[in-house]
Structures are given as C-alpha cells and as structure tokens.
C-alpha cells in the first residue's frame, strides 16, 4: 500500500550482538545465536534489523573500536555465519542494517599501528597528528566524551593524536582522500554482501579538517546537571564551534550517498549524530545528496521525560522534518538506561504498570513520522538493571564513574529466553559476559511469545494493524501535538485517511479514530 520507501516507515529492531544469544557456551552472544532467534524477531512484524558492531575488535568499547571493518570478531563467528544470517533475514522478509563506525577505529587497527610509528610512514597522515604547543601541552582544549582530554601523546612521533572517545579509539583523518576511499570500499564490501543499509556511528565526530585546529568556545549556558555525567567539563564547551559538526564532514556523507545510490534496492544511510544544535545538524546531514535520515535523540533523555517533555521532544523534531521520513525515533538503545525504568520513574508509575506503559510507548514511537528503532527487550518491557556489582561492570564509561554513575551496562545485560533454562536460555556457560538479570526472568522472550496478551503479542498485533493504515504507510504527515496534561494527541494524515491518535498516560491506553 505504501508509496514511500521502506526506510521512511520502517520499524527497525536493534540487536546488541554480545547480549542476544550465545550459541557455543562461551557466555558471549554471537551470529549463530542471532540466526536462531530470527523467527522470534520476524514474529513481531518488524521491517528491519540493525545489529550493533560485530567486526574484529579488541572490545575496549565493545565493538565501537574496530580493528578490521571487513571481518567478523572471532567471538561472534565468521563471514560464512554472516552470509547465512543475511540470507535468513531476507527469507523472512526483513532488511538488514549494520553499524559502521567511520569516525574512529581501534588503536589495534593496522592503520593506526603503522601510523603511530613515525612521521613519514605510508599511513602517517591517516589520523590527526599534531605537534604539542611550545609548553608541551595538547594542541587544543578539546575534551573526550568519556572524560579527560581528547588528545593523547605518542612519544615515537613526539605528537598528539585526537580521540573524541577512548584513547584506544583514535580519530581517523577524513581530510585524507585515501581514508575516505577506504570507507567507500568498506561500504561496497558490505553492500556487495547484500546489506540493506548502515547505521553510521557518531558521524558528528568525523573530523575532516586540517591543523591548526581551533579551541572550542566556552558554553555560556552551561548549568551543572544533576547526573554525574552531565557534570563532566565536556559540557562546559560549545563543540560545534571547532571540535564537532564541521562542514568538511559532508565530504563523507556525500561519498557514502553516491555509493549507496549506485546500488539497486533503496540502500539506506541513517546517521547517528549530536551537536550543540542537533536539529540543525540533522538538517545539514540530510540535505540533498547526503544521508537519507538521522537518528533522533529527543526521546532518549537519560532520566526520562514528563508528558509535557515528551510533547516538546516530538514537536521540535517534527517541526524540522514533517512531511518527510528523514528521521528515526527511539526510546531505548545500548547507550541509555532502559525506557521501562527511566520513563516509569519520570511518569510516577508503579512497577506493575511497566508492561502497559511500555506497550503505550511502543505504539507512540511507531505512530510518529519516519522510522523507529526498537531496542531488543522493549517488546518484553524489560527493566533497566541497576544492581550489577561494580566488579562485574564492563563499560569503561561506567567503570570510570561508578557507583555514582553506572554507565551503559544497565541496558546491555543478556536477553533472557526461557525462565526454566540456565541463564534464562541465553547461554550454557557458568559465567556470562555481563550477569543475566534475575528481574528479567519473568519476561523471557520465548515464554512471552507463547503467552497470549503479552507485550510481545500485543505489539505484534499492533504492528500488523499499523501496516494496514494508509495514514501511517503512505505519507509522513503529522499535525500539531495536543492533549491534556496526561495525554498526547495528534493526527496522522494521508490522501486516503486521517487517523487521530491519542495516548493517555493515566489509563495507559492508546486509541485511534478515523476522522
Ligand atoms: C556511539 C555509540 C556508542 C559508542 C560511541 C563511540 O555513540 O552508540 O555506543 O561508545 O558512539 O563509538
Ligand atoms: Ca558465543
């Protein structure tokens, strides 16, 4: 029924592969594990799957530090497993998106290993190498997202290199045409294997400028947030003034778009990005000939949003993109506490209300314009796991700030499948990479898929109904957001149909009326 491209209305299921399903008993999820759960995912009626990185990686940032973009981390399987996986995803009628990390690689990547040796090797200019200031200090005042300076000194070159995240994630120099070409070749490698699209990691942190770099300006609006990570000095700077979101990044997005367009079948590019003004940055990234869409952060606030906050978040995002499918909403991902806990607290609801609230939020996010990314476990109304012992934590960001700030392990614990099985069916290992949460066992995936009336089954029924509504499937038009203090109301409109969608946070129900 749709006149739109698949990605303009897609419901995209996000898998964090380390935590989905372990097939060989080492306590770590893997590609064969994912293959064994594809029927469960297809049963939901989602359109596509996005898998977080499974490439070769020392796992300092759990795959977002890639040491070989064209091979699979042995813990996760082989390229043969990948081919088997994509064939089955396609057989089940779904698209497959993978996660490419263009801004930085691992310090163990052969490119960086060579580059750091001297100032005149063949890869010497593949990273941002800059001389110290006369007093020996770092070239600019830039700070890293994960704490500390964005510059680390390399004695062999007597120079600093740039890293916007961990020192083990050196920023690639996209001013170098060889680097840009290497990333186009990576895109081709995966498009040739049949991949339908990429989630492009942290594209605002790509740097294609050349030294001398400028200092970031101070952020005159900085207020000390309540959460420890909001108190990092990082937020005292305006990043779009120098460090992030510089115009030269668009050489990357334009080259990627040209590559995607040279393939059949609507290959899709969705950029993850942030900035001092994220909406403006999203518009720039999706200008003609650039990325198809960007991943919208408005609903992902770390400590949740009030109903009024949700309204404002939706309103400001759609103001820029109404009539288009150039954005993707999400309530949860592998970087923030699970929405089942975050929003529950913020909306003043009780734990018994979590399933009803989660179903309501799933319906809300899939009724907005553009695509939606649903994080694994949202279909089970999983809670955030905030009782991981400090000595079992894995996320370097959390380890740095625990116990005041827990980082991202809380949303990354292994999926559970059968309450009756060891480790909830995730793995036969004695120990899993992060502990399986006992609080998840009553909402195990396969148990819930078998249970009539579960969130999984109600969401599946809802998605089947959604697919039949021209208002959702053949136009991306949405009215102003209205409703009382505990309601969100809007109209979705196409040529054939206008649907009034009402989400009530007192009764925790969604109603739809043709008007
Ligand atoms: C993105 C990823 C996050 C990662 C970071 C650095 O924000 O979602 O998990 O740590 O980029 O690659
Ligand atoms: Ca495994």
Taking CB atoms within 8 Å and a gap of at least 24, the contacts of 58-64 are: 58/106, 58/108, 58/168, 60/106, 60/166, 60/168, 60/169, 60/396, 61/165, 61/166, 61/168, 61/169, 61/396, 62/18, 62/394, 62/395, 62/412, 63/17, 63/18, 63/99, 64/101, 64/165, 64/169, 64/201
**Predicted confidence (pLDDT) at residue 104 exceeds the cutoff of 60:** yes
Q: Is the CB of 202 under 6 A from ligand 1?
A: yes
**Predicted confidence (pLDDT) at residue 182 exceeds the cutoff of 90:** yes
Looking from the CA of residue 104, the nearest atom of ligand 1 is 12
Give the model's confidence band at 417: pLDDT under 50 very low, under 70 low, under 90 confident, else very high.
very high
Q: Is the CB of 201 under 6 A from ligand 1?
A: yes
Q: Catalytic residue among 8, 81, 168, 201, which? A: 201
Residue 405 has a pLDDT of 86
Residue range 134-153: mean pLDDT, rounded = 96
Residue range 113-128: mean pLDDT, rounded = 98
Residue 1 has a pLDDT of 55
Separation CA 129–CA 163 (nearest Å): 11
Distance 52 CA to ligand 1 centre (A): 10
Write the residue with the smallest CA distance to atom 7 of ligand 1: 202
Residue range 77-88: mean pLDDT, rounded = 98
Residue 201 is a catalytic residue: yes
**Predicted confidence (pLDDT) at residue 3 exceeds the cutoff of 90:** no
Give the model's confidence band at 404: pLDDT under 50 very low, under 70 low, under 90 confident, else very high.
confident
Looking from the CA of residue 333, the nearest atom of ligand 1 is 8
**Predicted confidence (pLDDT) at residue 400 exceeds the cutoff of 90:** no
Domain extents in the chain: 7-104+177-471, 478-514
Residue 365 is a catalytic residue: no
Residue range 58-77: mean pLDDT, rounded = 98
Q: Return all residues near 395 (Cβ < 8 A) that are at least 6 apart.
A: 62, 407, 408, 409, 412
Residue 2 has a pLDDT of 63
Percent of the chain with pLDDT over 90: 96
Q: Is the CB of 367 under 6 A from ligand 1?
A: no
Residue range 206-223: mean pLDDT, rounded = 95
Q: Which two tokens stand for residue 339?
A: 């929405």
Cβ < 5 A residues, ion ligand 2: 22, 24, 26, 28, 30
Residue 229 has a pLDDT of 76
Looking from the CA of residue 61, the nearest atom of ligand 1 is 10
Percent of the chain with pLDDT over 70: 100
Which residues, listed in sequence order, are joined to residue 268 by a DSSP beta bridge? 197
CA–chain centroid gap for 416, Å, is 21
Residue 403 has a pLDDT of 86
**Listed residue (317, 258, 307) closest to 283, CA to CA:** 317
Write the residue with the smallest CA distance to atom 9 of ligand 1: 335
**Predicted confidence (pLDDT) at residue 187 exceeds the cutoff of 70:** yes
Residue 225 has a pLDDT of 85
Q: What is the pLDDT of residues 269-284, one digit of tens each?
A: 999 999 999 999 999 9
Q: Which two tokens stand for residue 509?
A: 């129900």
Strand ranges for 205-334 from DSSP E? 217-218, 237-238, 268-272, 293-295, 327-330
Distance 423 CA to ligand 1 centre (A): 27
Q: What is the pLDDT of residues 464-512, one digit of tens each?
A: 999 999 999 999 999 999 999 999 999 999 999 999 999 999 999 999 9
Q: Catalytic residue among 30, 196, 272, 378, which? A: 272
Which comes out higher in pLDDT, residue 178 or 400? 178
CATH superfamily of the domain spanning 7-104+177-471: Glycosidases (3.20.20.80)
Q: For the whole prediction, is pTM greater than 0.85?
A: yes
Separation CA 260–CA 51 (nearest Å): 19
Write the residue with the smallest CA distance to atom 6 of ligand 1: 64
């Amino acid at each position: 029924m749709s006149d739109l491209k698949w990605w303009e209305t897609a419901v995209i299921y996000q898998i964090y592969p380390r935590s989905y399903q372990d097939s060989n008993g080492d306590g770590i999820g893997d590609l064969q594990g994912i293959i064994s759960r594809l029927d469960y995912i297809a049963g939901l009626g989602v359109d596509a799957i996005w898998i977080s990185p499974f490439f070769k990686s020392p796992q300092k940032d759990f795959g977002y530090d890639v040491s070989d973009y064209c091979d699979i981390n042995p813990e996760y399987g082989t390229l043969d497993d990948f081919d088997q996986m994509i064939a089955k995803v396609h057989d089940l009628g779904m698209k497959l998106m993978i996660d490419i990390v263009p801004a930085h690689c691992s310090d163990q990547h052969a490119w960086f290993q060579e580059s750091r040796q001297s100032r005149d090797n063949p890869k010497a200019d593949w990273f941002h190498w800059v001389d110290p200031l006369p007093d020996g200090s770092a070239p600019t005042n830039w700070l890293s997202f994960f704490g500390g300076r964005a510059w680390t000194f390399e004695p062999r070159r007597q120079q600093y290199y740039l890293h916007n995240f961990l020192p083990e994630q050196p920023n690639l120099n996209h001013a170098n045409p060889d680097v840009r070409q290497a990333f186009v070749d990576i895109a081709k490698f995966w498009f040739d294997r049949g991949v339908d699209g990429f989630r492009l990691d942290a594209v605002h942190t790509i740097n294609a400028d050349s030294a001398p770099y400028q200092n970031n300006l101070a952020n005159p609006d900085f207020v000390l947030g309540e959460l420890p990570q909001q108190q990092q000095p990082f937020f005292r700077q305006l990043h779009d003034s120098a460090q992030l979101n510089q115009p030269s990044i668009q050489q990357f997005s334009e080259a990627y778009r040209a590559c995607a367009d040279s393939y059949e079948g609507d290959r899709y590019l969705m950029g993850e990005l942030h900035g001092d003004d994220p909406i403006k940055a999203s518009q720039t990234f999706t200008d003609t000939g650039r990325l198809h869409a960007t991943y919208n952060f408005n609903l992902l606030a770390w400590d949740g949003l009030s109903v009024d906050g949700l309204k404002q978040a939706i309103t400001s995002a759609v103001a820029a993109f109404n009539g288009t499918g150039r954005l993707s909403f999400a309530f949860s991902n592998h970087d923030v506490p699970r929405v089942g806990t975050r929003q529950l607290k913020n909306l003043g609801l009780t734990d018994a209300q979590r399933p009803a609230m989660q179903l309501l939020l799933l319906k809300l996010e899939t009724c907005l314009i553009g695509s939606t990314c649903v994080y694994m476990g949202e279909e089970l109304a999983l809670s955030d796991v905030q009782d991981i012992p400090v000595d079992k934590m894995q996320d370097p960001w959390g380890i740095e700030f625990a116990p005041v700030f827990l980082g991202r392990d809380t949303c990354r614990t292994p999926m559970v499948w059968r309450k009756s099985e060891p480790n909830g069916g995730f793995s036969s290992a004695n120990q899993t990479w992060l502990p399986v949460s006992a609080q998840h066992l009553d909402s195990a995936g396969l148990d819930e898929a078998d249970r009539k009336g579960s969130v999984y089954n109600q969401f599946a029924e809802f998605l089947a109904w959604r697919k039949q509504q021209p208002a959702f499937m053949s136009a991306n038009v949405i009215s102003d957001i209205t409703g009382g203090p505990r309601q969100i109301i809007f109209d979705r409109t196409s040529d054939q149909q206008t649907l009034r969608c009402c989400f009530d946070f007192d009764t925790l129900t969604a109603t739809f009326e043709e008007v």
